[in-house]
A and B are shown apart, each in its own frame.
Chain A
Amino acid sequence: MNRRVVITGMGVAAPNGVGLAAFSEALKKGKSGIRFQPELERLKFRCQIAGQPEIPEEMLQEYFTKLELRGLNSSGIVYGVISGVVAWKDAGLPVGPEAETDWDNGIIFGTGILGVDKFREAIHLIDDKNTRRLGSTSVIQTMASGISAYLNNKLACGNQVTTNSSACTTGTEAILMAADRIRSGKAKRILAGSCSDSGPYVWGGFDAMRILPHQYNDDPEAGSRPMSESAAGFVPGSGAGALVVEDLESALERGAKIYAEVLGGHINSGGQRNKGSMTAPNSEGVKRCIKNAIFDAGVRGDELDVINGHLTATSMDATEIRNWSEALELKAKDFPYINSLKSLTGHCLSAAGSVESVASILQISEGFIFGNQNSEDLHPEIEEIASREKVPEKSFFREVNLVAKASFGFGDVNAVAIFSKFR
């Protein structure tokens, strides 16, 4: 049984745009969402810039009940619920108390860590011997699956409802897990996505590892420099992306609009061997993941229009490009266009895969390729592999049929998804 799987709804809460229209415009205009963070300065972080979605008070009231907003202190839940509800509505599916349990609908919504600010509140109360004052939502705001639980309170899904976690591959993994479940006939519609909290308690550990740039505190928008020779580390980000992954038959029956088809993909690990480690990928694993994804999708590498890479703005960027080139056996002018959303949003961590998948699919549905900010000084090792024009600095309109989206994460885990125009 091999059913076709399509995307029928999308939502996003990204540092450079909340909602599909704002996000799409930001991509076309090269609008950055990276800003100076006074809180990080106060706490004496080396890197004091970050990407954080801007959520106005009215929007909170639109997506959460008054009761839910009492004591709500989990930014990941805020971003995840907004993007998830937007996607579900976009797909024409019912939201709210009137929605009845639908046994064919599921949720696979991942996160790295959830509700760190709420957890910090709880830790202070507990250490003050005041555990009884935690209130009733301390657990649901900090359990990893809190995000799928909050979403399901609104969507009433009766199929599998879960939260996956695989560091920075989480979002892409969620989409592929959803596609697998639908392909095998076990569900008809799954809200797939991921979210990541904002703030010092999420980003601090990365600052301590000295892998964030400290040179751009006065010039935040220049700080995230994927593929650049002067890349100095990734800018931390946050947010959420959500996609309604649906069985083609069901989508056609409902007359749903179809953004793209999920042709296939692959998930693997390099096993932390052969230069793979807790924090770096085994290139052999990455190349296998790319090749298997292409094979699973039933396409050839030279048919790819765009690669939306993981490309975080570290020294690993050149290695990633080399891995793509060797896996696809393409280089120079034959290399596909390549872009990284992280120049505009920073690295949204566990939200990266889903936010970037939304960006990848918008390129297909709206026919454009977004540019790479801050790549004017392209890394010479990258220019040896891909022709300069294949790493566009500015966005441009062009038909896009086939996009490969890759995400790699701590623990040496990889995921590659292949999206195509629906025909």
Chain B
Amino acid sequence: METKEIIYCLKKIVKPYVQNDLAFQDFGRDTDFIKDLEINSANLVDIVLDVEDEFNIAIDNDSMDNMLTVNDAVEIIKTKQREQ
């Protein structure tokens, strides 16, 4: 899957959790889920589950802890897809 396509899917997944709509307009590789989008940290758990369902992958605990930005997510998704 191409990076662009992954980012497009991520944007859809993240949308319901976003509390800063202005920052969401500039959604891109450098966007930080908590600092920029002001997503409640408890909801990061839900985003991981949604990502697992969408991309049909399993995200281990270590990867989960490192998934802070869109770029982190893209890298994790690519790695997990390659491993399969």
Contact = CB atoms under 8 A, between A and B. Distances in A.
Interface stretch (B21-29, B30-38, B40-48, B72-80): B40-48
B45 to A, nearest CB: 5
A135 B17 CA distance: 13
A136 B16 contact: no
Contacts of A135: 45-46, 49
A67 interface: yes
Nearest to A70: B16
Contacts of B46: 70-71, 135-137
Contact of B42 (A70, A132, A136): A136
Contacts of B49: 133, 135
Contacts of A67: 16-17, 43
Nearest to B40: A136
Contacts of A66: 16
Per DSSP, chain B at the interface is helix
Contacts of B16: 66-67, 70
A185 B48 CA distance: 47
Interface string A53-87: 00000000000001100110000000000000000
A130 to B, nearest CB: 11
Contacts of B17: 67
A67 B40 CA distance: 11
Contacts of A71: 46
A66, A71, A133, A136 interface centre (most CB from chain B within 10 Å)? A136
A274 to B, nearest CB: 50
A74 B42 CA distance: 19
A66 B15 CA distance: 11
Contacts of A137: 46
A66 B18 CA distance: 11
A132 B63 CA distance: 14
Interface in A122-143: 132-133, 135-137
A67 B43 CA distance: 10
A137 B16 CA distance: 15
Interface in A76-126: none
Interface string B43-75: 101100100000000000100000000000000
Nearest to B58: A132
A307 B77 CA distance: 65
B47 to A, nearest CB: 9
Nearest to B59: A132
A423 to B, nearest CB: 48
Nearest to B15: A66
B42 to A, nearest CB: 4
Nearest to A69: B16
A70 B17 CA distance: 10
Nearest to B47: A136
A171 to B, nearest CB: 30
A136 B45 CA distance: 6
Nearest to A97: B19
A135 B45 CA distance: 6
A132 B43 CA distance: 13
A326 to B, nearest CB: 54
A20 to B, nearest CB: 32
A159 B61 CA distance: 38
A354 B17 CA distance: 34
B62 to A, nearest CB: 13
A70 B53 CA distance: 15
A136 B41 CA distance: 10
B61 to A, nearest CB: 8
A66 B16 CA distance: 7
Contacts of B43: 67, 136
Interface string A136-163: 1100000000000000000000000000
Contacts of A136: 42-43, 45-46
B14 to A, nearest CB: 11
A74 B61 CA distance: 28
A71 B46 CA distance: 10
**Considering the complex of A and B, which 7 residue pairs feature the smallest CB-CB distances, nearest first?**
A136-B42, A136-B45, A67-B16, A136-B46, A135-B46, A66-B16, A136-B43
17 contacts: A66-B16, A67-B16, A67-B17, A67-B43, A70-B16, A70-B46, A71-B46, A132-B61, A133-B49, A135-B45, A135-B46, A135-B49, A136-B42, A136-B43, A136-B45, A136-B46, A137-B46
Given A67-B16, A67-B43, A135-B45, 7 more contacts: A66-B16, A67-B17, A71-B46, A132-B61, A133-B49, A136-B42, A136-B46
Interface of A: 66-67, 70-71, 132-133, 135-137
